[in-house]
Chains A and B, each alone.
Chain A
Amino acid sequence: MSHEDPLDALLKAGPYIDDAGFTQRVMTKLPPQRSVRRVRRTVLLCAGLAAGAVFLGGTGRGLWAVLSSGQPSWVTVAAMVMVMAVGVGTGISVALREAEG
């Protein structure tokens, strides 16, 4: 007849731990569902592109005005091109990052 080691008996898993809302707490911490994320990503991407287009239009018109004035300052042109690039890039990357989150 074999006797169980008293230490093993003592170490055996304790009583079942009641859920007591644990599962619910985990579920509320999960990221949004994939379908919700897809919609949010599309909306944010469109918003980012629209903002980029508006920004590009405004700065682009200013750039065209400088160029058509006949004596464009290259410093001004370079600064405006840089502003356009940074603005559009930032708008799109922020939109994408938000949508991924």
Chain B
Amino acid sequence: VALSDADLIVRVVADDDRHAFAELVRRHQSDVRGLLRRLSGDAATADDLAQETFLNAYRALPRFRGGARFGSWLYRIAYNAYLAQARKAVPAPEPSTAVASMDGVLQRHDLARALAELRPEERAALALTCTQEVTHEEAAEILDWPLGTLKTHVLRGKEKLRARLSMEVPS
């Protein structure tokens, strides 16, 4: 019988059980790396941040209260790691109109690229609520925003993506 996340966490905290922690990493690595890929737009950066996320989670695990889902708790650590990295990183140059028009057809179908052009807040809101299947309430808690702010960023992010991907608003 597969142990639950909660059982694995107890083993890690009580006995420093490395097999239990490895199992937690294996279970959640895809979601955490996926979220960070959406946020950073780069697989290598995302993997470095994901590694940092799990190391930070290991250190903070004794303080995990179990009130939230373990996955949501990991997302919060991942988002903080991303924010810290984004503050240090040199901002990428804005894509020029000339490049965008030359590349127009490709760009319409390139969700990753369209996501990268959103404001970081909009990207984070969409990455959590749409791709990771986290509820709006959970996402607001992870991002430490009021629920209304989160919903605004989701709405604006979707509007911009629709415009960039030339999609119509569903009726």
Contacts and interface: CB of A to CB of B under 8 A. Distances in A.
Interface of A: 3, 5-8, 10-14, 16-19, 22-23, 25-27, 29-30, 33-35
A30 B111 contact: no
B131 A14 contact: yes
A11 to B, nearest CB: 4
- Secondary structure call for the A interface: helix
Contact of A16 (B16, B30, B170): B30
Given A3-B170, A7-B162, A17-B34, A27 B22 contact: yes
B26 A23 contact: yes
Given A3-B170, A19-B30, A22-B29, 18 more contacts: A6-B167, A7-B165, A8-B130, A11-B130, A12-B130, A13-B132, A16-B30, A17-B29, A17-B33, A17-B37, A22-B47, A22-B51, A26-B22, A27-B25, A29-B51, A30-B55, A34-B16, A35-B16
B21 interface: yes
Contact of A5 (B22, B25, B111, B170): B170
A12 to B, nearest CB: 6
A7 B158 contact: yes
Given A8-B130, A17-B30, A22-B29, A27 B170 contact: no
B161 A7 contact: yes
B133 interface: yes
Contacts, number: 68
A39 B54 CA distance: 25
Interface of B: 16, 18, 21-22, 25-26, 29-31, 33-34, 37, 47, 50-51, 54-55, 58, 111, 126, 130-133, 158, 161-162, 165, 167, 170
B25 A13 contact: no
B30 A11 contact: no
Contacts of A18: 30
23 contacts: A3-B170, A5-B170, A6-B170, A7-B158, A7-B162, A10-B165, A11-B111, A11-B126, A13-B132, A16-B30, A17-B33, A17-B34, A19-B26, A19-B30, A22-B25, A22-B29, A22-B47, A22-B51, A23-B29, A26-B22, A26-B55, A27-B18, A27-B22
Contacts of B47: 22
A26 B25 contact: yes
Contacts of A27: 18, 21-22, 25
Nearest to A12: B131
A41 to B, nearest CB: 14
A25 B26 CA distance: 11
A22 B116 CA distance: 24
